[in-house]
Amino acid sequence: MEGVDYLADERKKAEFDVNEMKIVWAGSRHNFELSDRISKLVANDPGFSKEGRTMLPRKELFKNTLRKATYAWKRIIELRLSEEEAAKLRHFVDEPAFTDLHWGMFIPAIKGQGTDEQQKKWLPLAYKMQIIGCYAQTELGHGSNVQGLETTATFDPQTDEFVIHSPTLTSSKWWPGGLGKVSTHAVVYARLITNGKDYGINGFIVQLRSLEDHKPLPGVTVGDIGLKFGNGAYNTMDNGVLRFDHVRIPRDQMLMRVSQVTREGKYVQSDVPRQLLYGTMVYVRQTIVSDASNALSRAVCIATRYSAVRRQFGSQNGGQEIQVIDYKTQQNRLFPLLASAYAFRFVGEWLKWLYTDVTQRLQANDFSTLPEAHACTAGLKSLTTTATADGIEECRKLCGGHGYLCSSGLPELFAVYVPACTYEGDNTVLLLQVARFLMKTVSQLGSGKKPVGTIAYMGRIEHLMQCRSDVKQAKDWLKPSAVVEAFEARAARMSVACAQNLSKFDNPEEGFAELAADLAEAAVAHCQLIVVSKFIEKLQQDIPGEGVKQQLEVLCGIYYLFLLHKHQGDFLGTGYITSKQASLANDQLRALYSQLRPNAISLVDAFNYTDHFLDSILGRYDGNVYPKLYEAAWKDPLNQSDIADGFHEYIRPLLKQQLRTARL
């Protein structure tokens, strides 16, 4: 029956003002109204339909993405959308495309690493999309190790040009999105060589294709790297391969904010730190953290709604069976993910603030907070994308067999999301960056340098090394001070233990390599402390709306108690809690699940997702799952005829042969 809300009873159970929660989720009333307006604009426009996307062969899929991305751009111009509105439109169109790299990396690289003059020349062309760019850093042989890249940019003083060259097969650029078939230009990272000396990696703007006929320019070999994981999914993107055979570019196409090469070929290092060359990655890592809550909340919305619709076992006297959401095991798998979606939302908001702050400082030549910004963006990118990718897969399993159908929306969501654990820095490599930062911090304790920001807790190291939890009953675990101290003590003790073990090695790099697994765990503990602290800080703000703050307190409690339970070994092993206190934490966690249960559907409604955006039969707002699943099955191309293609060729002879054998 159309128009019936099968989840209406669930919605009536809510103990808080859902509309106010929508504003908390969006970050502000302005953000809510913006998201609401743009998501509906996209959902109601047939030009952005997702129908049949997972069934298209690659060439058609890709062409369809080109159509959608250019149609999006046309609508942005026609509707005179602001940058903020355009970014929202891209989000709700929900299809990775070359435009992501153009706007998300090519332009930021020029802005961050180009001189004023270079920005004046290139940005207007890029803003009007008269040139389309990508970010060509990774090579076939090296991705994580940026200093190991092999592409060369050799200065030729005779002609005042750089010669860009790929000296080996492994120096082929490999992976850049938008490169394979679309980009006319790229910011290419290459080893800068002048006067015979190698000055390491720098960015260069290189034209790849003709602006007349789009053919690769002389000396440029470029193409797509091939089909990737999952149907549809990230195959809408033309990740590419690129080789240079002595391609010449003018000297002024070297991005010269960090260092310059003069007309005479002299290398000049300006007074900004070289790490600014990695600035685009810091920016994108911060956007990836913000985006984690989008992807996780989407999967959680689908799994929560479906868990309320789905019933299995427990029918009494012919009554209805139990909703699977009422099983404690389902709650123990689902509710921490719901809580994580909210936690990542708030930490994402905070990281955006931190990034804006560091950017303003950099503009004023204050580089003091750059190391912390790097550690936070790297660590939180790693933590949130790992948890989100795992969480999406868990949501698929929470939906049983139906979660495996593409029409559940979950397989595609997973396939699109999972590379976030690798791109913009492999998650383990990034954790090791955080660990380096932590080890440096520990080594400087007592030097008079006071740790600030997210590592301020290290300044209380003596207390944190010896304090013990004073939790006596389950509800003591609801006290923010008890929780923050537990996470601080665990993180501090794990870092100090690593530092002590490192000091046993004569060669610190050898020690770091040997202890890498422990160091990565210490980094996780530090990053979890940040997420927990930011959630707790959020709750200290004035939050309007009936029952909204109480629900957020429940979610926050679930988030940290679930972590405490999952990482019990760390908390017990470092001696901060006893096994009795660990068990009390678990009792409190179960109690919070019961408090959350009646609000679960409304908490996912607060994400305010349209059915178009969710693109999931299991996650439909009205819960009308079964008729729609049944209907969708018949739309599969295999069901266009009763007799499948290939039947006469392969199956019929088999059946006939069996018939003959049976007769014998």
Ligand X SMILES: Cc1cc2nc3c(=O)[nH]c(=O)nc-3n(C[C@H](O)[C@H](O)[C@H](O)COP(=O)(O)OP(=O)(O)OC[C@H]3O[C@@H](n4cnc5c(N)ncnc54)[C@H](O)[C@@H]3O)c2cc1C
Catalytically annotated residues: 424
In angstroms and rounded to an integer, the radius of gyration of the C-alpha atoms of the chain is 27
Strand, helix or coil for residue 198: strand
Strand partners, 202: 190
- Does position 425 interact with ligand X (CB under 6 A)? The reply is yes
Query: Alpha-carbon distance 564 to 558, whole Å?
Result: 10
Sign, CA dihedral 369-375-380-381, equals positive
Using the contact rule CB under 6 A, the part of the chain among 132-140, 476-484, 523-531, 651-659 near ligand X is 132-140
Token duo for residue 432: 């090791």
423 binds ligand X (CB under 6 A): yes
Provide CB contacts within 8 A for 75, sequence distance 6+.
45, 47, 81, 89
Task: Report the candidate in 116, 136, 279 with the shortest Cα–Cα distance to residue 207.
Answer: 136
- Candidates 367-375, 418-426, 581-589, 597-605 — which segment interacts with ligand X by CB under 6 A? 418-426
Residue number with CB closer to ligand L6B7KVET (244 or 355): 355
Q: Which is nearer to ligand X, 325 or 438 (CB)?
A: 438
User: Does the footprint of ligand L6B7KVET cover residue 429 (CB under 6 A)?
Assistant: yes
Residue 90 binding ligand L6B7KVET, by CB under 6 A? yes
Q: What share of the chain is helix, strand, coil (3-state, %, to 5)?
A: 60, 10, 30
> Which tokens in the block code for residue 613?
């955006």
Q: Which of 284, 301, 413, 499 binds ligand L6B7KVET (CB under 6 A)?
A: 284
Answer with the entry of ligand X, ligand L6B7KVET, none that 234 interacts with (C-beta below 5 to 8 A by kind): ligand X
Residue given tokens 């989407």 in the structure block: 298
Q: With CB under 6 A as the contact rule, which of the stretches 170-178, 360-368, 441-449, 630-638 interacts with ligand X?
A: 170-178
411 binds ligand L6B7KVET (CB under 6 A): no
Say whether residue 275 binds ligand L6B7KVET (CB under 6 A).
yes
Q: 603 and 555 in contact (C-beta within 8 Å)?
A: yes
Q: Which residues of 205-219 are buried (b: 16+ CB within 10 A; e: fewer)?
A: bbbbbeeeeeeeeee
- Candidates 95, 3, 85, 97; CA nearest to 51 is 95
Q: Does 619 bind ligand L6B7KVET (CB under 6 A)?
A: no
Nearest to 471 by CA among 587, 603, 616, 373: 587
Q: How far apart are CA 268 and CA 249, in angstroms?
A: 19
Q: How far apart are CA 531 and CA 313, in angstroms?
A: 38
242: left (phi over 0), alpha (psi -120 to 50) or beta: beta
Report the residue number, 287 or 551, with the smaller CB distance to ligand X.
Answer: 287
Decide if residue 192 touches ligand L6B7KVET (CB under 6 A).
no
Selection from ligand X, ligand L6B7KVET, none that 104 binds (CB < 5 to 8 A by kind) is ligand L6B7KVET
240-244 sheet: strands from edge to edge: 173-174, 240-244, 220-224
- β-pairing, 197-207 vs 220-224, is unpaired
Rounded least distance, CB 173 to ligand X, Å: 7
Nearer to ligand L6B7KVET, 132 or 606 (CB): 132
Interaction between residue 103 and ligand L6B7KVET (CB under 6 A) = yes
How far apart are CB 28 and ligand L6B7KVET at their closest, in Å? 20
Residues 343-402 that bind ligand L6B7KVET (CB under 6 A): 370-371, 374
Q: Does 144 bind ligand L6B7KVET (CB under 6 A)?
A: yes
Beta carbon nearer to ligand L6B7KVET, 316 or 368: 368
Tell me, what amino acid is at 572? L
Choose, by CB under 6 A, the member of 39, 65, 138, 253 that binds ligand L6B7KVET: 138
The binder of 336, among ligand L6B7KVET, ligand X, none, by C-beta within 5 to 8 A per type, is none
By the criterion CB under 6 A, which residues form the site for ligand L6B7KVET?
A: 72-73, 76, 86-87, 90, 99-100, 103-104, 135, 137-138, 143-147, 177, 275, 278, 281-282, 284, 287, 370-371, 374, 423-425, 429, 433, 436, 440
